[in-house]
């Protein structure tokens, strides 16, 4: 099997991965010393940037703030997983997302000149109580699409030794296009006329993840579209083409209330695909989020897959 596109993508950008190798080693050692059979998930979150210049002033970005990834990581921690949180620098963190998004949620005023910090303090308390055990939570921040892809590979190759206990929950909004380092201008782009940007397709690394990097792990990817019609077609294609175990398909405007889960029902890429729609119950108590259902369904799937 040839992955020349992937190879040239990786070679095209200078990314230091030494620090994450070190942090991962320490984290996995602590995680392993606790429990032999504890499941471990790599949750990816937030959007990647695509630099347009080497001395980067401009970049292509994605609207994602990492809400889905942060809320999902909370659920995985509650479900007893070790979590590696590969997320965009500055995007939302589990248990802290509401306070990060909204000062009014983080603080309230108790009297003239007095600020109540109880909401933030409570959020921090929950964050620490769920993540303070060594080996429970590792945050790996990325910014560019080059960093994301290379960090994911490092994590995946290391998690390969965890066999079926490893799960990948790929909620990050990864750019589909990039400008190779070799073709990137050194300085800030400028000129009188129109600007033509030629972007290459970011190679789909899902195939490498499922077949080479961590072949026994369960892999759940995401698909987001603004056009409902193409959404399910593309989600199915991701299963058939890259051999992922499931796809969570969401449409931009309804993504917080409704997500379709597509599961490969059997071995091999040609296996039948089972679809189910997960919905947020409109009568659910305030603060309920659809990520409870998403992660619940994925944890069930991972249990089935890891028992095989």
Q: Does 58 bind a second copy (CB under 8 A)?
A: yes
Q: Does 52 bind a second copy (CB under 8 A)?
A: yes
Name which of residues 110 to 139 contact a second copy (CB under 8 A). Answer: 113, 115, 117, 120-121
Pairing of the two strands 137-142 and 108-111: unpaired
Among 188, 241, 269, 303, binds a second copy (CB under 8 A): 188
CA dihedral (303, 225, 236, 162) in degrees, to 10, reads -30
Name which of residues 193 to 232 contact a second copy (CB under 8 A). Answer: 193-201, 224-227, 230
Q: Write down the least CB distance from residue 115 to a second copy, Å.
A: 5
Q: CA-to-CA distance for 20 and 16, rounded, in angstroms?
A: 9
Q: Does 19 bind a second copy (CB under 8 A)?
A: no
- How many chain residues interact with a second copy (CB under 8 A)? 44
- Which residues, 6 or more positions from 130, have their beta carbon under 8 angstroms from its beta carbon? 74, 77, 78, 94, 95, 136, 137
Q: Does 182 bind a second copy (CB under 8 A)?
A: no
**Interface map 246-285 toward a second copy (x if CB under 8 A):** ------x---------------------------------
**What are the angstrom distances between the C-alpha of 116 and each of 35, 92, 228, 306?**
40, 22, 44, 46
Q: Does 2 bind a second copy (CB under 8 A)?
A: no
Note every long-range contact of 283-292, with CB atoms under 8 Å and residues 24 or more positions apart, other chains counting: 289/71, 289/256, 290/256, 290/257, 290/258, 290/259, 291/68, 291/71, 291/72, 291/74, 291/75, 292/75
Q: Does 60 bind a second copy (CB under 8 A)?
A: yes
Q: Write down the least CB distance from residue 217 to a second copy, Å.
A: 27
Among 67, 175, 221, 293, binds a second copy (CB under 8 A): 175
Q: CA-to-CA distance for 72 and 168, rounded, in angstroms?
A: 12
Name which of residues 94 to 113 contact a second copy (CB under 8 A). Answer: 107, 113
Query: H or E segment at 11?
Result: helix 4-11
Q: Which is nearer to a second copy, 23 or 61 (CB)?
A: 61
Q: Does 192 bind a second copy (CB under 8 A)?
A: yes
Total Cβ atoms within 10 A of residue 287: 6
Q: Which is nearer to a second copy, 178 or 213 (CB)?
A: 178
Residues that bind a second copy (CB under 8 A): 49, 52-53, 55-63, 107, 113, 115, 117, 120-121, 173, 175-177, 186-190, 192-201, 224-227, 230, 234, 252
């Amino acid at each position: 099997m040839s992955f020349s596109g992937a190879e040239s993508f990786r070679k095209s950008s200078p990314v230091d991965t030494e620090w994450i190798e070190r942090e991962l080693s320490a984290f996995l050692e602590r995680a392993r010393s606790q429990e032999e059979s504890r499941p471990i998930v790599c949750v990816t979150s937030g959007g990647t940037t695509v630099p347009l210049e080497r001395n980067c002033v401009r970049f292509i970005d994605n609207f994602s703030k990492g809400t889905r990834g942060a809320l999902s990581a909370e659920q995985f921690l509650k479900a007893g997983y070790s979590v590696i949180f590969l997320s965009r620098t500055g995007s939302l963190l589990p248990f802290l997302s509401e306070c990060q998004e909204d000062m009014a949620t983080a603080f309230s005023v108790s009297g003239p000149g007095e600020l109540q910090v109880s909401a933030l303090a409570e959020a921090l308390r929950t964050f620490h109580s769920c993540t303070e055990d060594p080996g429970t939570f590792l945050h790996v921040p990325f910014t560019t699409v080059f960093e994301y892809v290379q960090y994911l590979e490092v994590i995946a190759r290391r998690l390969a030794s965890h066999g079926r206990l490893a799960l990948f929950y790929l909620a990050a909004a990864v750019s589909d296009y990039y400008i190779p380092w070799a073709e990137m201008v050194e300085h800030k782009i400028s000129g009188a006329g129109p600007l033509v940007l030629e972007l290459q397709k970011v190679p789909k690394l899902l195939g490498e993840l499922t077949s080479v990097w961590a072949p026994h792990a369960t892999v759940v990817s995401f698909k987001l579209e603004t056009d409902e019609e193409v959404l399910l077609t593309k989600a199915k294609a991701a299963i058939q083409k890259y051999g992922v175990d499931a796809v969570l398909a969401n449409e931009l405007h309804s993504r917080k209330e409704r997500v379709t889960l597509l599961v490969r029902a059997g071995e091999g890429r040609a296996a039948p695909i089972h679809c189910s729609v997960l919905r947020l119950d409109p009568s659910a108590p305030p603060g309920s989020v659809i990520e409870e259902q998403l992660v619940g369904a994925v944890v069930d799937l991972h249990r089935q897959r890891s028992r095989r």
